[in-house]
Amino acid sequence: MIELKHFINGEYTKKEENFRNIYNPSKQKDIGTIPIASEEEILDTIKCANEALKQWSNTPSEKRAEYLYKIAQGLEKRKDDIAKNITLCMGKPLKEALLDVEDAIACYSYYAESSKDIDAENQKIVSLEDTDYNISKRYEPVGVVGLIVPWNFPTVTTAWKVAPALAAGCTVILKPSGVSPIPEHILAEISKEINLPNGVLNILYGGANLAQELTKSEDIAKISFTGSTRVGQELTCISAPSLKNLSLELGGKSALIACEDADIDEVATLACNGIFFNNGQMCSATSRVLIHKNIYTKVLEKLKQKVEELKIGDPLDMGTDIGPLSSKKQFNTVCNYFEIAKEEKLACLTGGKKLDGNYVSPTIYYDVFKTSRLWQEEIFGPILCVNPFDTIEEAIIMANDTEYGLAASVISKDQNQAISIANSLKAGIIWINTDQIVLPQLSWGGYKKSSIGRELGEEGLNSFRELKHIIMPKEKY
Ligand code: NAD
């Protein structure tokens, strides 16, 4: 049993009175505890982060970048340990958890490289063409930031926020999800090993109350939240009195469109990967697949074959494709959708069953009517809904008929056709003829109720910075 402690101002707190268990969904047993932050601990942390901000925001950008490189190296050294703990906490197959750690390393390295010249850029004075003025364009850190993350990609979602925040010169209060806190605790250990200055990265554990207190605080400049749309909406209301700078990465119900000319095997492979990776517990999961009517039957046959070949088992086994769902709560949510599917009389191609423990069978429903709850709602589990379409126009209307707009995929041998479809989709990330590739230099985020703002890339860095213009008459210099 591991007993995690808050990490405040470079120190772990002493023994806590209020705590919650950390659960291993594969073995169905508790493996540790996290403390629940008290009012006093929250206020104390906010104070320390503000104190540390004075020095960190004035630390040369090259020096801040060096710390980010060191975090990347620390993650590299502890890769196996972190991946194993991701798997133990939320049941993700180990082979996927290892990819997660690599993504996090790539993110810290990217922001180290792309932020080291911030100071040099800030010092430039340029002549503004066709005017009488010189200008200086400066980017400055927003201040202390509260980072609230979910359980489905621990280490990765955290990296997407911590790396640009530290690069920009902000100090951080991180609130991991109670489901998967151990990987984030390892980040505290790494920050101690590399002598990151005290108070620059603080980690507090707790539930809704902690996230809400951080969001209310007048002494925190920004909240960056990843989680469900419902909680994002709640935090938006709570943040209103302080008019907080708020970034939100929320739910999704992404579509995959397979055109008439698409290769049958490729459609089945990309569709399976798009929904069954991480057991469907992905905001970008392509949970609605639209297939041209002329290839529909053949794709369904191939999909059924591929899904039934997936290996369900112990997530620590490198051969496992499907582990348990992340928690009892998630298991109950997914099983409830099996019941709804029965009530809605949906046709099941494969799966639709509870298995032992927190496991469910990967599932496909087909010919799903458009007002079905399974077609409309984010399930966050291994359930795919499939429908045929006749014309491209019809496919685009069906794909866009959702309150979400995070991602989408298109499969076609005709690149012009695929790009034209991509241009018509209301989503922030579109993959054409490829798996869900995520690159730190490109942005992440979407339309409608999926996001406010963007993470990763330059947009991700700018979301932690304020822009200042200084204007000076040319004649005086
Ligand atoms: P969640 O909204 O329940 O929790 C997210 C975070 O908020 C956690 O740290 C949690 O402790 C905290 N929280 C929970 N209830 C709260 C409340 N009432 N007030 C304040 N804070 C609260 O989400 P989850 O179940 O951890 O994660 C799944 C959701 O996250 C899905 O909807 C998924 O689509 C979304 N997600 C989105 C992205 C993205 O990039 N768009 C990435 C990953 C996950």
pLDDT in tens, 377-386: 999 999 999 9
The answer, yes or no, to whether residue 323 has pLDDT greater than 90, is: yes
170 belongs to the catalytic site: no
| Minimum-distance ligand 1 atom for the alpha carbon of 231 | 2
Q: Which residues line ligand 1 (CB under 6 A)?
A: 148-153, 157, 175, 177-178, 207-208, 211-212, 226-228, 231, 234-235, 249-252, 283, 378, 380, 406, 450-451
| 441-452 mean pLDDT | 98
Task: Tell how far the Cα of 77 is from the centroid of ligand 1, in angstroms.
Answer: 29
Provide CB contacts within 8 A for 280, sequence distance 6+.
287, 362, 379, 380, 381, 382, 383, 384
**Average pLDDT taken over every residue of the chain:** 97
Adjacency order of strands within the sheet including 19-24: 2-3, 29-35, 19-24
Q: How far apart are CA 247 and CA 215, in angstroms?
A: 11
Which residue's CA is the closest to the ligand 1 atom numbered 17? 208
Q: Which residue type occupies 2?
A: I
pLDDT band at 316 (very low <50, low <70, confident <90, very high): very high
pLDDT of amino acid 227:
98
High-pLDDT (> 70) share of the chain, %: 100
The first and second tokens of residue 265, run together, are 């095997």
| 14-40 mean pLDDT | 93
Per-residue pLDDT tens over the stretch 344-370? 999 999 999 999 999 999 999 999 999
52-81 as b/e: b if 16+ CB within 10 A: bbeebbebebeebbebbbbbbbbbeebbee
| 432-450 mean pLDDT | 97
272 belongs to the catalytic site: no
Cβ–Cβ < 8 Å for 185, 82? no
Q: Which of 16, 96, 213, 249 is catalytic?
A: 249
Could you give the dihedral angle defined by the CA atoms of residues 360, 365, 371 and 373, in that order, rounded to the nearest 10 degrees? 0
pLDDT of amino acid 16:
74
Which residue's CA is the closest to the ligand 1 atom numbered 18? 208
Ligand 1 pocket test target in 34, 42, 226, 282 with most atoms within 8 Å of CB: 226
Smallest CA-to-CA distance from 107 within 470, 443, 447, 402 is with: 443
- Residue 134 has φ and ψ, to the nearest 5°, of -100, 150
pLDDT band at 476 (very low <50, low <70, confident <90, very high): confident
Task: Tell how far the Cα of 333 is from the centroid of ligand 1, in angstroms.
Answer: 15
Q: How far apart are CA 315 and CA 28, in angstroms?
A: 13
Residue appearing with tokens 């502890």: 78
pLDDT of amino acid 451:
98
Question: pTM score > 0.85 for this model?
Answer: yes
Smallest CA-to-CA distance from 149 within 248, 81, 35, 55 is with: 248
| 267-294 mean pLDDT | 98
Q: How far apart are CA 409 and CA 443, in angstroms?
A: 16
The first and second tokens of residue 409, run together, are 């995929």
Q: Which of 283, 378, 385, 455 is catalytic?
A: 283
Cβ–Cβ < 8 Å for 82, 45? no
Per-residue pLDDT tens over the stretch 169-222? 999 999 999 999 999 999 999 999 999 999 999 999 999 999 999 999 999 999
| 98-110 mean pLDDT | 98
High-pLDDT (> 90) share of the chain, %: 98
Cβ–Cβ < 8 Å for 334, 383? yes
pLDDT of amino acid 477:
72
CA distances from 73 to 89, 105, 144, 187 (A): 23, 8, 25, 12
What DSSP state is assigned to residue 133?
E
